[in-house]
Amino acid sequence: MSADPIPLEEVLVTEREQWEDGPPHELFARMRGQCPVHWTPRITEYPEEAGFWSVTTADDVHAVSHDWRTYSSERGGVTALTNAIMPLELIRAMFIGMDPPKHDRLKALFQRGFTPKRIAEHEDEIRAITRRVLDRLEGREICDLVTDVAQPVVSRVIGSFMGIPPSDDEIWARLMNTTLGAGDPDLNPEGVETVMKRDVPEIFERCGRLIAERRERPTDDLTSVLVHAEIDGERLEEHEIVMGFFLLVAAGNDSTKATYASGMRALIEHPDQLRLLVDDPSLIPSAVEESLRMFPAFAHFRRTATRDTELGGQTIREGEKVVMWYVSSNRDESRYDDPDRFDVTRNPDHQAFGAGGRHFCLGTALARLELRILFEETLARFPLIEAAGRPEYAESPFINQLKTLPVRLRP
Summarize as ranges the residues that interact with ligand HEM (CB under 6 A). 65, 95-96, 107, 247-248, 251-252, 255-256, 259, 292, 296-298, 301, 352-354, 357, 359-363, 366-367
According to DSSP, residue 5 is labeled P
Q: Which of 301, 286, 279, 299 is nearest to 371 (CA)?
A: 286
Q: What's the half-sphere exposure (Cβ side, CA atoms, 13 Å) at 135?
A: 6
Minimal distance, residue 353 CB to ligand HEM, in Å: 5
CB nearer to ligand HEM: give 102 or 408: 102
CB nearer to ligand HEM: give 6 or 120: 120
CB nearer to ligand HEM: give 96 or 143: 96
Minimal distance, residue 75 CB to ligand HEM, in Å: 14
List, in sequence order, every residue forming a beta bridge with 406; answer none if it has no partner.
144
∠349-130-167 over CA atoms, to 5°? 120
CB nearer to ligand HEM: give 195 or 249: 249
CB nearer to ligand HEM: give 37 or 126: 126
Minimal distance, residue 190 CB to ligand HEM, in Å: 27
| CB proximity list for 183: less than 8 A, separation 6 or greater | 16, 45, 192, 395, 396
CB nearer to ligand HEM: give 187 or 409: 187
| CB proximity list for 287: less than 8 A, separation 6 or greater | 263, 267, 273, 277, 344, 375
Give CA–CA dist 69/354, Å, rounded.
Answer: 17
CB nearer to ligand HEM: give 339 or 354: 354
Give CA–CA dist 94/244, Å, rounded.
Answer: 5
Q: Is 203 helix (H, G, I), strand (E, B) or coil?
A: helix
Minimal distance, residue 166 CB to ligand HEM, in Å: 18
Q: Taking CB positions, which residue lies at the least distance from ligand HEM?
A: 363
CB nearer to ligand HEM: give 200 or 288: 288
CB nearer to ligand HEM: give 295 or 382: 295
Minimal distance, residue 169 CB to ligand HEM, in Å: 15
- Rounded to 10 deg, the angle between the 169-180 and 238-269 helix axes is 80
Q: How far is CA 370 from CA 125, 190, 201, in A?
A: 10, 32, 30
Minimal distance, residue 323 CB to ligand HEM, in Å: 11
Minimal distance, residue 172 CB to ligand HEM, in Å: 13
Minimal distance, residue 40 CB to ligand HEM, in Å: 20
Look at the alpha carbons of 99, 103, 104, 107 in this order and tell me if their dihedral is positive or negative. negative
Q: Which of 109, 144, 149 is nearest to 370 (CA)?
A: 149
Minimal distance, residue 306 CB to ligand HEM, in Å: 16
∠92-211-151 over CA atoms, to 5°? 75
Give CA–CA dist 169/247, Å, rounded.
Answer: 16
